[in-house]
Amino acid sequence: MPLPGRVCQGLGASPEAIWACGPDGLVRIDPATNEVLATVELDAALVVSRLAYGAGSVWAFATATVGPDLVARIDPATNAVTATIELGRIAGTMAFGFDALWVSSPTDDRLLRIDPATNAVEEWTDGLDTPGLVVVGADALWVSMLFGENAQAEEDDVTVVRIDPETGDVTASIATGGSLETSFGMAATEDGIWVRGLDPMLVRIDPATNEIIDRIGESSGPGDVTVAFGSVWITSERGEVIRLEP
């Protein structure tokens, strides 16, 4: 379906709707009819990040300048912005889990925590190396490092860290073998953290041991990964969607 303007962020879902982001704000889509039911005006930021849902709200990046330096909180019952939260820095991506919104800050090497009860921003983990993707696992947060356009990682460079959501401590550091930069994805299941990278194409981390247990495929350029319907799904720059059986 056509959307107004240019899509600037990834998709998100609330219990009754699909949400997409354009330059003038969010668009609410009815999954039953594929119709646009509402638009939510906000100064949308130019950033590669999926929208988040949690604590009864849709969360999206907004901007007071150009980069993503604000978080907009939207009530899906009214399609209204209920809070605009100043981050005080440029953000990377977001995810909701463990009763909080988590936001990476590549420019300040930090992971931020936003409390949905108060909308307060707390600096949760610092000393990270350009953190980017944030994924919520069963009992931990997983965050990619070296997040930036054309970021290069050596074979032994740490590219994924595991963070305790209760303390903010980094409990594991993993070298997946290549840069993730801004064009790749991660997904979490109970038995694997799936990391879409450059070479190898896909890495599976065992969350029980923090060890890499699968390396799948050779370099295939940028792409994303998700897990659904009992399979792992990945995209490649060749325009393919590849389905793998775990």
pLDDT in tens, 224-245: 899 988 899 988 877 788 898 8
Could you give the CA distance from residue 92 to residue 86 in angstroms, rounded to a whole number? 14
* pLDDT surpasses 70 at 201: yes
pLDDT band at 120 (very low <50, low <70, confident <90, very high): very high
CA distances from 67 to 90, 105, 132, 135, 217 (A): 6, 11, 14, 21, 34
Whether 73 has a pLDDT exceeding 60, the answer reads yes
What are the pLDDT digits (tens) for 121-171? Answer: 999 999 999 999 999 999 999 999 988 766 677 778 899 999 999 999 999
pLDDT at 1: 62
The gap between the terminal CA atoms of the chain, to the nearest Å, is 32
How far, in Å, CA of 103 to CA of 37, rounded? 28
Do residues 94 and 101 make contact, with C-beta atoms less than 8 angstroms apart?
A: yes
At 74, the pLDDT band (50, 70, 90 cuts) reads very high
pLDDT score recorded for residue 8 = 59
Whether residue 115 has pLDDT greater than 70: yes
Residues 6+ apart with CB under 8 A from 204: 192, 193, 194, 195, 212, 213, 214, 215, 216
Enter the tokens of residue 175.
């070298």
Question: What pLDDT, on a 0 to 100 scale, did the predictor assign at position 2?
Answer: 63
- Please give the share of the chain, as a percent, with pLDDT higher than 70: 95
Bridge partners (DSSP) of residue 60 are 72
| pLDDT cut 90: percent of the chain above it | 61
Average pLDDT over the chain reads 89
Structure tokens, 218:
């050779």
Please state, in angstroms and rounded to a whole number, the distance separating the CA atoms of residues 18 and 37: 10
**pLDDT grade, residue 198 (50/70/90)?**
confident
Dump pLDDT digits (tens) for 3-49.
666 555 678 899 999 998 877 788 899 999 989 899 899 888 777 78
Contacts for 156 with CB less than 8 Å, ≥ 6 apart: 175
Averaged pLDDT, 101-105: 97
For 77-100, letters b (16+ CB in 10 Å) and e give: eeeebebebebebbbbbbbbbbeb
Q: What is the pLDDT of residue 103?
A: 98
